[in-house]
Structure 1
């Protein structure tokens, strides 16, 4: 692979993090972007300073319970002094999650990884990874499950050089429009083969937009959240915190760059950056705010996802946000009695990131956890409520006799499902039991399947 690279080769690294402090789920929920800080060791700091834009890094969960490679990030901003304790920082962006996490024991047992620095210096938090070691670990993990929306084709382009990238792209683009099965014949590593294939897919895909064009970014401008919007054209607001950091440190926007702000309540306004200082920036409106009314049918999701692990709860909440649910409530049942406060905080970040990604103007509400007993009076007051139950009437058949209301409830049980007593209590309160097919579904799968079906049904009821 070195033979097809440009003069400045892509470097590979491994970044360690305690999942209790910053996990892959946190990285993905933050729009895929984060500052990699808190590195104290001098040798690790030296490695951090050596990173170049476009370098690829394994995202490694450390700690007694989880020592494994779980994903890949790319360096989007090289070393700079952070605002906190003066330590060095780089900015990284999620590229994708490993299809299968690669455990430390598995790596140590692989003869091709003998002598890897990770084994010899287990306390080093930033580890250089030789190219052959990178390729082997990437193969062991089966490649990447998914990738960030924006991709990292530019970094890959820089890493392998213009001629190699162009040759790989066009030699393997099939005449019938299909993506190539493999790029190994060019001598590229699995990670770069993945990225090149993803570049092809991205270039040949068509983006689907909602029929409600007022919900979309009209000029393709970057969109950011602000609780307060300028009241009219020519007025300004102050942007600080995470959104300020994202605008200036990650996207490197500058004075006079045009962006959009939304407030999560239907408000959207276009403007430009008027002034930037160390603590924030001033946004000035170039038009009056545009206010979009919410969807006429409001669906409220109650799901027992407190015990879900491995990012599955994040995925559930993210997809509910994208599909347009009005609210999600963690349901505490006999088989899912609790949910951690740390998880609730992270889910709030997931919702905001998903709202920006899906260009949703009305932010979904994450309600406090609700005990099962508190659900029954809500069901009794609702004119339209559905609970997923095995072997019940298929949801499509149940909808044939249903009438559209202004709001409805979607209820999904935890892993192991509701108890028979809980199902009976809901039926007595007036819920409609519906089936989702012959197969047993996970909590998150059932939630999204039922929500998507009901969203499409309610849309079809529009006059």
Structure 2
């Protein structure tokens, strides 16, 4: 199944016109013709089935046959991850975490961050592409980049709150602290790790220090291990 994305699609729609780039892809690449079926999501949990009425390469028109809402997950995972020095490594994490089942992502700027500017539009495109590729109907929420200290003032009202760091101290592995069917917010620092002040501030705000294993991991690897661990516990 080929999945397309349009955030403006709602349940009242009867017809849909694809933008020019997708119209060209549908007609010239996928070789769809009149009467063929295509699938669209609005990224809000709905999957729409549509029949092509006019296979125009610039304005492909389709009729909405049906729609259904996906069964929501029993938990939500919010990853709060410092940008990596190389953009492609962060984008790799976003892609894979979306495929695994991340619900929300917030880039944080930390004391040891080497990259302090992030390309939000590019990140949004990566999330959209990964959602479509993995045939999911919910687009992860991408929040604006924020400083670590500002994020700690955010009200996290439910679920577990974890901070993964490499410094010495009492920590338990995430797989032993996480409990199925519970929301989780996980902080992952930059290549230079969180500063001691940041770790202490997070602990004061109720974040539980965790380990992701014996090996020292890159930022994007640590974040993906955390996503995978939570997903496995909830499956």
Common fold, TM-score beyond 0.5? yes
Conserved in 2, the CA contact under 8 Å of 1:379 and 1:429? no
Tell me, yes or no, if structure 1 residue 226 matches structure 2 residue 2. no
Match of 1:45 in 2: none
When you count helix as a share of all residues, which structure comes out higher?
1
Q: In 1, Cα distance between the equivalents of 2:161 and 2:155?
A: 7
Match of 2:221 in 1: 445
Match of 1:32 in 2: none
Note the 1:8-407 alignment, pairs <5 A.
Answer: 221-229=1-9, 231=11, 235-277=14-56, 279-286=58-65, 288-305=66-83, 307-309=84-86, 311-336=88-113, 338-341=115-118, 343-378=119-154, 381-390=157-166, 392-399=171-178, 404-405=181-182, 407=183
Q: In 2, Cα distance between the equivalents of 1:223 and 1:345?
A: 21
Work out which of the residue numbers 194, 198, 204 in structure 2 matches 1:428.
Answer: 204
Give unmatched runs, 5+ long, in structure 2: none
Q: CA deviation at 1:365?
A: 1.3
Q: In 1, Cα distance between the equivalents of 2:6 and 2:180?
A: 37
Match of 1:151 in 2: none
Conserved in 1, the CA contact under 8 Å of 2:99 and 2:130? yes
SS of residue matched to 1:289: strand
Q: In 1, Cα distance between the equivalents of 2:197 and 2:125?
A: 35
RMSD of aligned residue pairs (Cα, Å) = 2.3
Conserved in 2, the CA contact under 8 Å of 1:230 and 1:285? no
Q: In 2, Cα distance between the equivalents of 1:277 and 1:241?
A: 9
SS of residue matched to 1:297: coil
Distance 1:251 1:430, change over 3 A: same
Decide which structure has the larger Cα Rg and report it.
1
Runs (4 or more) in structure 1 with deviation over 3 Å come to 228-233, 276-279, 337-341, 379-383, 402-405
Q: CA deviation at 1:278?
A: 5.2
Q: In 2, Cα distance between the equivalents of 1:326 and 1:389?
A: 22
Q: CA deviation at 1:408?
A: 1.9
Higher RCO, 1 vs 2 (CA within 8 Å, ≥6 residues apart): 2
Q: In 1, Cα distance between the equivalents of 2:145 and 2:24?
A: 31
Q: CA deviation at 1:379?
A: 6.2
SS of residue matched to 2:32: coil
SS of residue matched to 2:194: coil
SS of residue matched to 2:49: strand
Q: CA deviation at 1:339?
A: 4.2
When the two structures are aligned, how many residues end up with a matched partner? 232
Give unmatched runs, 5+ long, in structure 1: 1-220
SS of residue matched to 1:411: strand
Conserved in 1, the CA contact under 8 Å of 2:175 and 2:230? no
Deviation per residue, 1:370-421 (Å, 9 max, x gap): 111122123664441111122522223323xx5853x320110001100011
Q: In 2, Cα distance between the equivalents of 1:272 and 1:442?
A: 46
Conserved in 2, the CA contact under 8 Å of 1:380 and 1:429? no
Distance 1:373 1:260, change over 3 A: same
